[in-house]
């Protein structure tokens, strides 16, 4: 019987592979360079680990294909069909821009050009009454125009379709009948949202990505099947669940956040394994850092995220804050003489100065090697690091301007980088009403464990967790997810007039569709879970909070109490006696996938000797300290030591400063008491 679970996380520079043996819980990892066709790198990495696809029971995949398509604008010819007079909704947006005070800064242009936005005479009132229906003859003529222009996909975006999608669905039926080779996305079916810009924008993103990710998923499934894999390919989406190729044709836009969601999912799982319901994921790579938060076992979600500002994708998604801070972030002096760090990055080529590949500017990696926190090589010695080149870059660009010696300048570079990343953690915690002291910090990515303890001390976080394979933790996240769909229905009603029976009927309708989707994907009824939330807000407010509610829904008063407590935590106030309204009903449909547990190791008492030692400069110590260096592969469950020490492995380096203690748990996580 197939007994292997394979996860692949494809990034811009490297593709990470995790293979989990269901029988033993043993985990094998590989890291290979990404290729022009991402599928080649994925299968190359699987082959490198000696995996026969006929032995694979589950193949899960996080990908940047959709993200890269949007960033590079390599998109198929796509049309938008909209109500006459509303072709510019996606260009006008919500009249904001990323920098409100820069008169010369414009938002990126829409993904569909104005010449490709076609108008149609129809009308639905805000109450859902069809005032002007679809003229079939005019719709057929429109279809012929779409065919002549060679569009591969169409977004149908009609005003007020959230209240009644009849006109959109009729237009879609006519277009699909006349143009069976063209993909058609309806805005209300993609996202049932009242605000037309959010709904139109999400439908447009879905339309431009549908041919891209659909074709990619089919090719990947075919190549896996040809290699002997007999199950469905599972693709991670931004909400932290997975989809099969059978549903990508309807919700391809959900893959736009596939890559960053994997790390957040893995962080939640590892923290829970270690006994922490509250955790902050800290994923620091070479170019950027991703920060996520889990409270009481539930990841923080958002409906407001973008790849490019002004073009929101409004599916419920794991809330991940990304900043330009990584191992390759460049330190520089601004016009006022202040030290800055990032967002510019040296990238993989030429890379930090210490790589010896032509990089001239100092980076966080250069600062860490000057401080002794990194050794003479990375990736098990495959990549040599030259401390002389790092010192030269810092001396040339930083020390003269600041009047510091090289070591002090290196400490300053790290201090600025840590301050930037600590601010990102504050955004997802303190700014949302959460106290970091109640959380554990899960530090991963290639550079996360270098900086994790310093950030924890700055934020008074008591515990840092470093997974066994920090550099490929995001790939591990792909193994830990379930099939998931998010369905919504706009339901605007004042809480004084809300009828529990009416709300329950609306929830039941959503759950009926959810069961149909999961049945289409072959999920047994016993493996289905329905989670309900209600979006509520004070009267006159625009933004709403999602409040979990039970099934069946019987009490509006209980929902009001829960909303006020959530509002108090999020915004530090509540308005007693103010009118409240229900805005939207949501159902998260989960198809539970069987999970294999990671290998558990019994504690041992054997001594472990360091492999070497070197001089390391720590944050609060003036002089370098002689610091033992341990090989992580030699550390067994139950091993414990007080800092200072450095723990090195193939894909990461962990810094344990003085007055911190590290312990290895039964799953080989490093638990650092700060």
**404-448 pLDDT tens trace:** 999 999 999 999 999 999 999 999 899 888 999 999 999 998 889
- The verdict on whether omega for the bond into residue 643 sits within 30 degrees of 0, i.e. cis, is no
Q: What is the pLDDT of residues 264-312, one digit of tens each?
A: 888 998 999 999 999 999 998 877 888 999 998 888 888 778 888 889 9
Judge whether 97 lies within some domain.
yes
- The verdict on whether omega for the bond into residue 218 sits within 30 degrees of 0, i.e. cis, is no
Considering the chain, what is the average pLDDT of its residues?
Answer: 89
How many whole angstroms separate alpha carbon 56 and alpha carbon 19? 9
Judge whether 102 lies within some domain.
yes
172 and 79 both lie in a single domain? yes
Choose the most confident range, by mean pLDDT, from 159-163, 313-317, 483-487: 159-163
Residue 7 predicted with pLDDT over 70: yes
414 and 489 both lie in a single domain? no
Which of 4-13, 151-160, 555-564, 577-586 is the least confident region?
4-13
114 and 219 both lie in a single domain? no
pTM over cut 0.85: no
Residue 348 predicted with pLDDT over 70: no
490 and 341 both lie in a single domain? no
Are the C-beta atoms of 228 and 54 separated by less than 8 Å? Answer: yes
Which of 165-174, 349-358, 551-560 is the least confident region?
349-358
Judge whether 269 lies within some domain.
no
237 and 284 both lie in a single domain? no
- pLDDT classification of 110: cutoffs 50, 70, 90: very high
Phi, psi of 398 (to 5 degrees): -120, -50
For 54, counting Cβ atoms within 10 Å of its Cβ (0-12 exposed, 13-18 middle, 19+ buried), the class is exposed
643 and 546 both lie in a single domain? no
Judge whether 233 lies within some domain.
yes
The two structure tokens encoding residue 595:
């999970």
Judge whether 264 lies within some domain.
no
- pLDDT classification of 595: cutoffs 50, 70, 90: low
The secondary structure of residue 165, as a DSSP letter, is -
For 361, counting Cβ atoms within 10 Å of its Cβ (0-12 exposed, 13-18 middle, 19+ buried), the class is buried
- For residue 504, the model assigns a pLDDT of 94
Residue 615 predicted with pLDDT over 90: yes
Domain boundaries, position 670: 275-481+596-674
287 and 360 both lie in a single domain? yes
Q: What is the DSSP string of 534-588?
A: EEEEETT-S--EEEEE-SS---HHHHHHHHHHHHHHHHS---TT--EEEEEEEEE
How many whole angstroms separate alpha carbon 249 and alpha carbon 374? 46
300 and 425 both lie in a single domain? yes
Judge whether 270 lies within some domain.
no
Judge whether 263 lies within some domain.
no
101 and 193 both lie in a single domain? yes
Mean pLDDT over residues 159-170, rounded?
A: 94
461 and 605 both lie in a single domain? yes
Pairing of β 78-83 and β 153-157: parallel
Residue 380 predicted with pLDDT over 60: no
| CATH number for the domain harbouring residue 202 | 3.40.1360
Q: How many domains does the chain have?
A: 4
Could you tell me the CA-to-CA distances from 577 to 298, 333, 382, 494 in Å, in that order?
29, 53, 65, 13
Judge whether 268 lies within some domain.
no
b/e map 628-660, b = 16+ CB within 10 Å: bbbebeebebebebebbbbbbbbbbbbbbbeeb
């Amino acid at each position: 019987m197939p007994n292997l679970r394979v996860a692949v996380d494809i990034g811009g520079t490297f593709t990470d592979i995790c293979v989990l043996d269901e029988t033993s819980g043993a985990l094998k990892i590989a890291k290979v360079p990404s290729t022009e066709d991402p599928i080649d790198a994925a299968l190359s990495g699987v082959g490198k680990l000696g995996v026969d696809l006929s032995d694979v029971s589950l193949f899960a995949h996080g990908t940047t294909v959709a993200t890269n398509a949007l960033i590079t604008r390599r998109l198929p010819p796509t049309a938008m069909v909209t109500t006459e007079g509303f072709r510019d909704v996606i260009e006008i947006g919500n009249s904001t821009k990323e920098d409100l005070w820069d008169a010369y800064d414009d938002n990126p242009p829409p993904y569909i050009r104005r010449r490709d936005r076609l108008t149609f005479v129809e009308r639905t009132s805000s109450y859902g009454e069809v005032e002007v229906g679809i003229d079939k003859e005019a719709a057929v003529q429109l279809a012929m125009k779409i065919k002549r222009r060679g569009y591969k996909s169409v977004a149908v975006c009609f005003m007020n379709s959230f209240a009644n999608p009849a006109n959109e669905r009729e237009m879609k039926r006519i277009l699909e009948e006349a143009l069976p080779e063209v993909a058609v996305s309806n805005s209300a079916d993609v996202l049932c949202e009242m605000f037309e810009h959010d709904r139109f924008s999400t439908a447009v993103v879905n339309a431009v990505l549908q041919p891209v990710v659909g074709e990619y998923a089919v090719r990947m499934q075919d190549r896996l099947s040809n290699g002997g894999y007999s199950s469905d390919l599972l693709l991670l989406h931004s909400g932290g669940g997975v989809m099969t190729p059978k549903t990508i044709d309807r919700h391809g836009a959900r893959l736009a956040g596939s890559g960053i969601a994997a790390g957040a999912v893995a962080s939640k799982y590892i923290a829970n394994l270690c006994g922490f319901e509250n955790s902050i994921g800290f994923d620091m790579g070479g170019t950027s850092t991703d920060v996520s938060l889990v409270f009481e076992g539930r990841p923080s979600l958002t409906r407001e995220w973008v790849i490019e500002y002004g073009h929101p994708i409004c599916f419920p998604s794991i809330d991940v804050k990304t900043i330009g801070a990584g191992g390759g972030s460049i330190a520089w002096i601004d016009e006022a003489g202040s030290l800055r760090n990032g967002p510019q990055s040296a990238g993989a080529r030429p890379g930090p100065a210490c790589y010896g590949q032509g990089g001239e500017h100092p980076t966080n990696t250069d600062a860490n090697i000057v401080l002794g926190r990194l050794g003479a090589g990375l990736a098990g010695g495959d990549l040599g690091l030259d401390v002389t080149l790092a010192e030269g870059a810092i001396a040339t660009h930083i020390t003269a301007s600041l009047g510091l010696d090289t070591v002090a300048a290196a400490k300053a570079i790290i201090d600025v980088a840590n301050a930037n990343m600590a601010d990102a953690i504050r955004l997802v915690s303190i700014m949302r009403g959460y106290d970091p002291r109640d959380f554990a910090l899960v530090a991963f990515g290639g550079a996360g464990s270098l900086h994790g303890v310093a950030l924890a001390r700055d934020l008074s976080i008591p515990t840092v967790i470093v997974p066994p394979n920090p550099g490929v933790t995001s790939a591990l996240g792909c193994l830990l997810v379930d099939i998931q769909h998010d369905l919504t229905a706009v339901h605007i009603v004042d809480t004084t007039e809300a009828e529990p029976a009416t709300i329950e009927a609306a929830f039941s309708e959503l759950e009926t569709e959810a069961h149909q989707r999961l049945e289409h994907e072959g999920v047994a009824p016993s493996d289905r879970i329905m989670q309900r939330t209600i979006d509520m807000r004070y009267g006159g407010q625009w933004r709403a909070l999602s409040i979990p509610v039970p099934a069946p829904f019987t009490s509006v008063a209980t929902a009001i109490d829960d909303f006020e407590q959530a509002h108090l935590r999020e915004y530090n106030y509540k308005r007693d006696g103010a009118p409240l309204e229900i805005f939207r009903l949501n159902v998260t449909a989960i198809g539970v996938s069987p999970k294999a547990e990671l290998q558990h190791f019994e504690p041992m008492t054997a001594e472990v000797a360091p492999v070497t030692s070197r001089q390391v400069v720590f944050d609060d110590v003036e002089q370098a300290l002689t610091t033992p260096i341990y090989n992580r592969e030699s550390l067994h469950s139950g091993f414990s030591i007080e800092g200072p020490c450095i723990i090195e492995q193939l894909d990461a380096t962990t810094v344990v400063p003085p007055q911190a203690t590290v312990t290895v748990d039964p799953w080989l996580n490093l638990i650092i008491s700060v």
